[in-house]
C-alpha cells in the first residue's frame, strides 16, 4: 500500500484537539528560515487548524469538509520550531460561510513559562456544495507574458523539464542561501533565470516560477490546497533580487562598493492575506505556476503580490503581504539554527 498523499507535509502541519477550542501543533525545524518557521508553512498549519476545528467541534455544520477560502493573518512576533498552542473562537457560523478567529501561541522568549500570541487572524471557510453563483472569465493574463517553452505556441514540455531540468527558457533553479532558507528545500523551482536576470527581462521586481512539491524529497508529493498556502509564500528568486537591492542600498548608504558575497537578509512577513480561488483535486497536481510582483521597497518595508495558476492557466489562489527587510541577525538573535530531527 502506498503512503498517504504528502505524508511528510501532513505530519508537519498536523493539529491535535486538546480541549474546547484548543489544539496542539508542532512547528518543524525543516520548514524554517534561519531559526524561524517559514510564514507560508505556519499559515498551512493554521489552514489545517481551521479544517480540524470544524471536523472536531462542528461535525454537523456542513455535509462535506469546509475548506478555507480566505485567510487574513498578522505575524506579531517571531515563532520558533517546537510545540505551539492554537486557540479558536467561533465568530460566525453560517450556512454558506463561517469565520473563526485563530491564535497561535508559544512560550515567550523574555518570560519563561508564559505563553504569548505569535500569529493571529481570521479564517473564513465554506463547503464546496455551498459555492454557487456566477462565474465569468475576465481575460486576465500575467503581463509581461512568461517566457516560452519548446512546445507549440511556446508551451512548456513538462516531461522534459522534469527529466532534463530544462525546457526552452526554463531550467531548474538552485535557491540562494539554502542553509539559511531551509524551507525552500521542500520544493523544486524552475524559472527563466535567477532573480536579477528575471528582473532585467521584466524591467521590474517581477518573478516567474513553476514549482513541484517535494516535502522530505518525496517525489510522489503533489500540490494540494493546504500546500498551495505554503507555495504562496515561497519565492526564493524574488528574495534573490531583494538581496541585490538591499545590499546595493546598504553599500550606497555606507559609501562602499557592493560586496561580491552579498550580506544575508531576512524578509519576515508582517501581514498575509490569501484568497483561495479554485479547489485542487483530491489527488493534487504536480505543477503550479507563480507570478510574484513587488511594487515598492521603502523604509525597510516591502509589498508582495502573488498569483498562482495551474497548467490550464486558471487562477488557483491570490495573496498579498506586507514584509520587512532586516538583517538576518534579527532572525537568529541568540538562537542557533537547529539541525534536522
Q: Examine the domain organization and report whether 107 and 193 are in the same domain.
A: no
Nearest-angstrom CA–CA distance, 246 and 250: 6
> Which CATH number belongs to the domain containing residue 244 in this structure?
2.40.160.210
The pTM assigned to this predicted structure is 0.91
What is the per-residue burial (b if ≥16 Cβ within 10 Å, else e) of 238-262?
bbbbbbebbbeebeeeeeeeeeeeb
Residues 235 and 277 in one domain: yes
Residue 242 and residue 118 share a domain: no
Q: pLDDT of 208-218, one tens digit each? A: 999 999 999 99
For residue 103, what is the domain's CATH number?
3.10.129.10
Q: What is the mean pLDDT of residues 268-291?
A: 97
Radius of gyration of the chain (CA): 20
Residues 211 and 160 in one domain: yes
pLDDT category of residue 339 using cuts at 50, 70 and 90: very low
Whether residues 123 and 224 share a domain: the answer is: no
Total domain count, the chain: 2
Cell readout for 192 is 527563466
What is the structure's pLDDT at 341? 34
Q: Do 75 and 165 fall into the same domain?
A: no
* pLDDT for the residue 250: 59
Query: Beta 170-172 vs 187-191: how paired, if at all?
Result: antiparallel
Contact, 41 vs 187, CB < 8 A?
A: no
134 found inside a domain: no
Strands 166-167 and 170-172: antiparallel
Task: Confirm whether 253 is domain-assigned.
Answer: yes
3-state secondary structure of 200: helix
Residues 258 and 306 in one domain: yes
Residue 141 lies in a domain: no
Are 238 and 91 found together in one domain? no
Dump pLDDT digits (tens) for 119-131: 999 999 999 999 8
**Residue 122's pLDDT is what?**
98
pLDDT digits (tens, 9 = 90+) for 224-250: 999 999 999 998 877 766 666 655 555
- Cα separation, 280 vs 288, in Å, equals 11
- How many angstroms separate the CA atoms of 323 and 337, rounded? 22
For the segment 270-280, what is each residue's pLDDT rounded down to a tens digit?
999 999 999 99
Answer whether 142's CB lies under 8 Å from 208's CB: yes
Characterise 322 by phi-psi region: left (phi > 0), alpha (psi -120 to 50), beta (else): beta
d(CA 101, CA 312): 34
Domain range for 247 is 152-332
How many CB atoms are located within 10 Å of the residue 338 CB? Answer: 16
What is the rounded CA–CA span in Å between residue 291 and residue 307?
Answer: 5
Question: Do 36 and 100 sit in the same domain of this protein?
Answer: yes
Contact 304, 40 (CB under 8 A): no
Q: Say yes or no: 269 and 178 in one domain.
A: yes
Report residue 340's pLDDT band, with 50, 70 and 90 as the boundaries: very low
Amino acid at each position: 500500500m502506498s503512503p498517504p498523499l504528502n505524508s511528510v507535509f501532513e505530519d508537519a502541519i498536523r493539529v491535535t484537539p486538546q480541549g474546547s477550542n484548543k489544539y496542539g501543533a508542532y512547528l518543524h525545524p525543516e520548514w524554517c528560515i534561519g531559526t524561524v518557521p517559514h510564514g507560508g508553512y505556519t499559515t498551512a498549519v493554521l489552514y489545517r487548524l481551521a479544517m480540524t476545528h470544524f471536523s472536531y467541534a462542528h461535525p454537523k455544520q456542513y455535509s462535506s469538509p469546509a475548506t478555507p477560502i480566505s485567510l487574513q493573518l498578522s505575524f506579531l512576533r517571531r515563532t520558533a520550531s517546537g510545540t505551539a498552542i492554537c486557540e479558536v473562537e467561533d465568530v460566525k457560523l453560517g450556512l454558506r460561510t463561517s469565520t473563526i478567529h485563530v491564535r497561535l501561541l508559544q512560550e515567550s522568549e523574555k518570560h519563561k513559562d508564559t505563553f504569548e500570541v505569535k500569529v493571529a487572524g481570521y479564517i473564513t471557510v465554506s463547503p464546496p456544495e455551498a459555492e454557487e453563483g456566477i462565474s465569468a472569465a475576465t481575460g486576465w493574463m500575467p503581463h509581461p507574458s512568461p517566457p516560452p517553452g519548446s512546445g507549440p505556441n511556446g508551451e512548456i514540455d513538462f516531461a522534459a523539464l522534469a527529466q532534463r531540468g530544462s525546457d526552452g527558457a526554463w531550467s531548474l533553479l538552485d535557491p540562494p542561501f539554502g542553509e539559511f532558507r531551509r524551507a525552500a528545500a521542500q520544493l523544486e523551482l524552475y524559472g527563466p533565470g535567477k532573480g536579477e536576470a528575471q528582473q532585467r527581462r521584466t524591467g521590474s521586481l517581477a518573478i516567474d516560477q513553476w514549482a513541484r512539491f517535494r516535502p522530505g524529497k518525496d517525489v510522489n508529493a503533489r500540490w494540494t490546497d493546504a500546500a498551495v498556502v505554503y507555495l504562496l509564500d515561497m519565492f526564493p528568486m524574488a528574495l534573490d533580487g531583494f538581496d541585490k537591492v538591499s545590499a546595493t542600498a546598504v553599500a550606497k548608504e555606507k559609501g562602499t562598493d557592493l560586496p561580491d558575497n552579498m550580506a544575508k537578509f531576512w524578509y519576515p512577513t508582517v501581514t498575509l492575506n490569501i484568497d483561495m480561488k479554485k479547489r485542487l483535486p483530491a489527488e493534487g497536481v504536480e505543477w503550479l505556476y507563480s507570478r510574484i510582483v513587488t511594487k515598492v521597497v521603502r523604509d525597510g518595508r516591502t509589498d508582495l503580490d502573488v498569483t498562482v495558476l495551474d497548467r490550464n492557466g486558471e487562477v488557483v489562489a491570490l495573496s498579498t503581504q506586507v514584509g520587512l527587510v532586516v538583517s538576518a541577525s534579527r532572525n537568529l538573535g541568540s538562537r542557533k539554527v537547529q539541525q534536522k530531527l
